[in-house]
Structures are given as structure tokens and as C-alpha cells.
Amino acid sequence: MPLETIIRPMAEQDLDEADGVMRLAFGTEFGLPDPARFMGDAKLLCPRWRTNPAGCLVAQAGAAVIGSVAVMDWGSVAVLGPLSVHPARWNQGLARRLLEAALATTPARLVALYTQPGSPRHLRLYEDAGFATRHLIAVMAKPVAPATAAPDFLLFSQQRPEQQAEALAACREISNATFAGLDLSREIRATTEQGSGDTLLLRSGNATTGFALCQEGAGSEAGSGTLAVKFGAVRPGDAAAFQDLLAAAEALASRRGARRLQASVTHARRAAYARMKAAGFRTELSGIAMVRPEGLGYDAPESFLVEEWR
């Protein structure tokens, strides 16, 4: 008789087992020789659980964790992923149950995710839950150049508490200009507290004109040798500030000894995509953006914003 499967909140003691299932699932999906080595020494579930435990769930059969899902809280936006199920339990409806339970954890106005554009079963899963396909996402990277002169920037972790509060307000103002209520405050604070990266605050005089939430190193969402911009934005239409933000992120990567700088952008943000290519970024992987409800989002040609939804 099959063991009953329950969906429940993820606990700290679940992290290692859930991480192992997630790596096995994606490594198998992508046909890796050793699926368990998917993502190397980078981690997704641990930092996302520590940042937003209420959005993380596991599927359990007997004493074993056989699947999991995480939801990132970005204010009015929730980003869903990764969602994974042990390969032995594929095509049994478990992904749908995890997805439904995850959606019930968030009151966000917009729920977004990244998935594989060439996988009909993934597209069908999310379409059945009310998601609509939007635009291709380019996961881009470039080799980090030796340190050169960089635009003026500060690091969130190096600010005093009252300065951090001011910085968070400035970051909210910038992200809110792109989509009402989009707020990375929880992620910014958690990244500093967990020591998994830092947030770059682009400066012009006494004003913050942009910010980039960066992950770096083993155990972070980036992994060894990479500085990944999980979220970076300037005000809509400010192409010069966006170019400075990319240059500042590369300068930070160089200072930290990273070999690669990574960032993702949708093709709909045409001006941002063009400037990333001009700065030396090249697409390493293509995905598809899906959103719920259909028609809502913040993709526009003048949006100078990069973000990691995987």
C-alpha cells in the first residue's frame, strides 16, 4: 500500500534532504551524468528558507522528504521556485499539490516564475494553475575584468543601522517606480545577515540611483567563483545609471575575487538587454517567464531591471 503523502511547512531539519531531492530532480531533468552534482556548491533552498520560511513547503511520504517548493517574498511580487519532486514520484500529481499549496502561502498581487520553454509538461502544469507565458529570459554572464575605475557605490553591510534604514527606503522607491509595491527589503537584509552576499548601492552625490542585490561564494545562490546579481534596478528609462550599475557590479566582483558576473533579463526589456550585450554579457541559458494573473507584470522596453527567478 503506497505511503500517504502530506504537504507541510519546511523545517530546518528538512533542508539537507530537500536539497538532495532538488538536485537529483533537476540533474535528472537536464540529463547530467551525476544528477546529485547539479548546481555544484551553490544552494537555493537553505537561503530561501532562512529568508522566508513561511513560503517553503515539503512533500513527505512516510519519513522521507520527496519534494519541495519555495516562494520568495518581494512585497507585491512573489517569485515561485524551485519546485522539485523526486524522479521516482514524477507524473503522480505531486507537483500540482505542491504548487497549489505554495500559492496559498502568498497574498502577493503578482506571482512570477521561471521555467523551461521547451518542456510541455512544465508549461501545462503552470498554465493549469493560471499562469501565462510572457517573454524569454536570458540568463547571462561575462568574465570579470581586472579592477578598473568604477562608479561611486556603497555596500549595504557597511552602513550603520540608521543608514541601512535610509538605504532600504531608497531601494523601495527605485523598485516601486517599476512596479507598485515591489520591495526587496526582506532579501537585502537576509543576504547581509546570512553572509551570502551584499547589496551594492549606486550613488550620485548624496542620492542612491540604483541598487544590486548580489550573491557570491560557496553556499550562496551563486556558488564559488561567481557573483550573481539576484536583483538589480535603476529608475525606468535611466540607461546611464544602468550602465553604471553593471560596471559597479563588475568592480565588486573583481574586488571579491569572482571570475564570473551573472545576471538575468527578459527580452522584453530591450534596452537593458542591449546594454548588457554591449557590456560583454552573453546568454548561457534561456528560460521563459510566466506570471499570474495574466496581463500583469513589469516588463517594458524602458525597464532597466535584472532579476533571478530560478
How far is the CA of 83 from the CAs of 64, 87, 125, 217, 261, in angstroms?
17, 12, 11, 23, 25
Q: Which amino acid is at 301?
A: P
Q: What is the pLDDT of residue 274?
A: 97
Place of cell 539537507: 16
Count Cβ atoms below 10 Å from residue 57 Cβ, excluding itself. 25
Residue 2 predicted with pLDDT over 80: no
Q: What is the pLDDT of residue 117?
A: 92
* pLDDT digits 0-9 by tens, 80-89: 999 999 999 9
Cα angle for residues 48, 52, 56 (degrees, 5° grid): 70
For position 3, what pLDDT does the model report? 77
pLDDT in tens, 220-243: 999 999 999 999 999 999 999 999
Q: What is the 3-state secondary structure (H, E, C) of 112-180?
A: EEEECCCCHHHHHHHHHCCCEEEEEEEEEEEECCCCCCCCCEEEHHHCCHHHHHHHHHHHHHHHHHHCC
Residues 278-292, mean pLDDT to the nearest whole number: 97
Q: What is the pTM for the complete model shown?
A: 0.95
Domains, the chain, ordered by start: 5-108 (3.40.630.30), 141-307 (3.40.630.30)
